[in-house]
Amino acid sequence: MKWDIKAKLKISAKGEISPFQGGKNEALKIDELVDILLRNRGLVTANEQQIFLRPKLERVTADGVGIDKKQLTTAVKRIEKAIRDRQQIVVFGDYDVDGICGSAILWETLHHLGAQVLPYIPHRVEEGYGLSATGIRNILAPNQGSTLSVSSRLNLSNTKLIITVDNGIVANEAVKFAKEQGIDVIITDHHLPHEDGEHHKPEAFAIVHTTKLCGAGVAWVLAKEFLKDDDALRKLHITDHLVFAALATIADMVPLTGANRAVVKFGLTELKKTGRIGLKALFHEAGIEQRSIEPYQIGHVIAPRLNAAGRMESAMDSLRLLCTKDPRRAKELATALGEVNKLRQQEMTLSVEHAIQQIKNQSAKRSPNGGRTKIKRVLVVAHESYPQGVIGLVAGKLVEEFYRPSIVISIGETHSKASVRSVKGFNIIEFLRTKSEHFVNVGGHPMAAGFTIETSKITFLQQILEKAAEESVLEEHLTRTIAIDCELPLEVVSKQLYDALQLLGPFGIGNPEPVFCTTAIVQDIRIMGRDGKHLKLNVQCPMSNDKSSMESKTIEGVGFGMGEKAGELKVGDMIEIAFVIDENQWNGNRKLQLKLKDIHPVPLE
C-alpha cells in the first residue's frame, strides 16, 4: 500500500515540529496540529476552519445547499393545495436507508399537517429503482398490481400528487407517464441528473434537487418549509426527523462536510437520546448501546438491517419500524429485520465467493502467447444466481479483494440488473455514460452506479467496457493508497490530543479520521478474533530505552484484518506504522489504543 503523507513535517518525541526540509523547531501545540489537519482537508482560511469546527444547523437551508428557491416555493404551494383540497398524495421513496428515512420524514410531516398522504416503496425486483410507469400503475390499481409495496387495503387510485424521495431526477419517461394519468410529480433527489444537465431533467411540476445532501437531507430541507408556527412539528423536525436525516447521511456514504457534517453532528446527539420506539428496538436487537452510537455502528450494524428488507423482500417493514408507536410491533419488526439481515449475509457470502472465483478463473486463462491473462482494469461478472438485492455489496467486496472498478450483474430472462462500485479517483458514472447507448438505463454517483441491460448484450458490453478501461483506468487508480496527515511519534500520543482530534468529527466519507505514521519497536504480538483474523501489537517508541518507564512509553495497537502479518513480525522488530488514535471502551474502562492501518518493516542497515 502506498503512503501519501500530506503534511511534510516531522514532530519529534519532545513535541517539536520541524519541516522535513529542515528549519527552526518550535514546541508542539495541539491547536497547531489541528490547523495542519484542517489544511490537509482543504480548510485554509480562519473562516473556513471555524465553520467546520463549529457547524450550525441553521446554516442547513435551501440557499445554503444550492436548492433552487423558485422550485422549492412551487413545490410547497402545490403540496399546500393538495392538503387544502384533500387530494391523495403519495410519497414515493427508495428501498435503501436514504429513501426509507426520507420517506418517513415527508410522510410524517404531511400527515401531521392533515394531508391525505401515504408512503410507497417500490419493490426492487418487480418494479426496479425509482419512479417508474410500473410503479405508477401499481399505485393507481394496487389490488391488481404488486401488494408487496403497499397494502392492498389502501386505495391510491385517486392519487393526484406524487412526491419522490431519493429518486426521480432521471425519471423522464415515468414523469411523462404520470402527467398522462393526471398526476403531478414533485421530485426531491440528490443523484446526478442526465449528462446534459438542466436541458434533460424531467418535466416535473417542481424539482427540489441538490448534490450537497443525501436524499433524506433534501426531504428534511423541504419539510422545514412547513414548520411555520407549529411547535409540535418544529420539535419533531429537530429531533426525530434530524435523526432520520443523520442515519441516511451516514448510510448513503455522502461526504461528511458542509451541511452534511452539521446534520450528522447534531443528529447523532439526538440519536443517542431518542425515544423513538422503532429505533430503540433496533438498537436492542443489534446489541448496541444507544448512548455510544457513532457513525461506524450506523454504517456497519444499523444500516445493513434497515437495508436488508429492501434487498431481500419489501422495504416497507423498515419504514414501518421507523414510524411505529407500538412497542410490541417495534420488537416484532426489529426481530424480523435481524433475521432477514442474516439471510442477506448468507446470500451475499455465497455470491461473493462465486464472483471472486469467476475473476480468478478469468485471470487463470492462457493468453495467445502462452502467458496468464492479467486481471482486467474493470471487473465484470454476471450470473443468474446473484440476487439483485446483494449485487451492490458483492461489487464492493470485489473492489476490496482486487482493487478494480467492479460490475456485478444479476442475469434475468430478458433484462439484467447491474450494480457498480469504483475505486478512489475514478468516476464510474462518467465512464459508464460514455457507453450509454448500450444500456436500457444507467445512473448513480462517481463511486457507485447501477444500470439495466438487455441480457443478450452482456457479453458484448463486457468486451467494450474492458477495452475502454484499458485507456480510462490508469495505474494510479489501481494503487491502494492511504492518506497520512503527518508523522507523529508515540511519545506525544495522549488523552488530551485524542480529545482535541474529536473536535474534527464526526468522521466518515470526505472527513476521514486523522491518520499518522511513525517508527516503532514491537514489544508483543498476538492474534485475536475468529480464525485469527486480527492482529494486536504492543509497540514502543524507539527512543524509549528506559525499561523502568516502558509501561508509560508502550501503547497497544489493533490491526483489524491483519492477522496474517503476525507471522511476519517478531518481538524487537523495528516497523513503520500508519495509525489512528482511538479510545477503547470495555467494562466501563477507557484506554488509548492505536487502530493500525498499515505496517511496513524497517530494512536493516
Task: Pick the last residue of a domain from 230, 264, 284.
Answer: 230
Dump pLDDT digits (tens) for 375-433: 999 999 999 999 998 999 999 999 999 999 999 999 999 999 999 999 999 999 999 99
Which of 447, 478, 509 is the last residue in one of the domains?
Answer: 478
* Residue 421 in grid coordinates: 462500485
Are residues 21 and 165 part of one domain?
Answer: no
The region of weakest confidence among 14-23, 183-192, 286-295, 408-417 is: 14-23
Share the mean pLDDT of the chain: 89
Give the highest mean pLDDT range of 74-83, 368-377, 500-509: 74-83
Q: What is the pLDDT of residues 324-350, one digit of tens each?
A: 999 999 999 999 999 999 999 999 999
pLDDT exceeds cutoff 50 at 259:
yes
DSSP string, 157-171: TTEEEEEESS--TT-
- Please tell me whether residues 422 and 567 are part of one structural domain: no
Of 108 and 144, which is predicted with more confidence? 108
Backbone conformation region of residue 91, classed left if phi is above 0, alpha if psi is from -120 to 50, else beta: beta
Task: Note the pLDDT of residue 129.
Answer: 86
Q: Tally the residues of the chain.
A: 605
Q: Any idea what the CATH number is for the domain that residue 394 is in? A: 3.10.310.30
As a whole number of angstroms, the longest Cα–Cα distance in the chain is 83
Answer whether residue 532 is part of any domain. yes
Same domain for 442 and 542, yes or no, is no
Where in the sequence is the domain holding 161, given as residue range(s)?
59-230
Q: For residues 441 and 586, state if they share a domain.
A: no
Which pLDDT value is given to residue 7? 86
Q: What is the DSSP string of 456-508?
A: GGHHHHHHHHHHHHHHHS-GGGGS-EEEE-EE--GGG--HHHHHHHGGG-S-B
| Of 279 and 443, the one with more pLDDT | 279
Any idea which of 30-39, 83-92, 363-372 has the lowest mean pLDDT? 363-372
Task: Supply the pLDDT for residue 152.
Answer: 40
Q: What is the CATH number of the domain that holds 503?
A: 2.40.50.460
Q: Is 60 exceeded by the pLDDT of residue 198?
A: no
CATH no. for residue 153? Answer: 3.90.1640.30
Question: Are 111 and 179 contacting, i.e. CB atoms less than 8 angstroms apart?
Answer: no
CA–CA distance, 149 with 67 (Å, rounded to integer)? 30
100 and 221 in a single domain? The answer is yes
Mark whether 67 and 174 lie in a shared domain: yes
| pTM reported for the whole predicted model | 0.88
pLDDT in tens, 206-247: 999 999 999 999 999 999 999 988 999 999 999 999 999 999
**Per-residue model confidence (pLDDT) at position 463:** 95
Average pLDDT for 124-140: 90
Question: How far separated are the first and last CA of the chain, in Å rounded?
Answer: 22
CA torsion angle 127 318 323 103 (round to 10): -40
Q: What is the predicted pLDDT for the residue at 481?
A: 93
237: closest CA among 253, 221, 252, 215? 221
pLDDT of residue 366: 54
Name the domain boundary from 181, 214, 230: 230
* 154 pLDDT above the threshold of 70: no
Q: What is the CA radius of gyration of the chain?
A: 26
In a domain, 362, yes or no: no
pLDDT > 70: percent of the chain: 90
Is 304 among the domain residues?
no
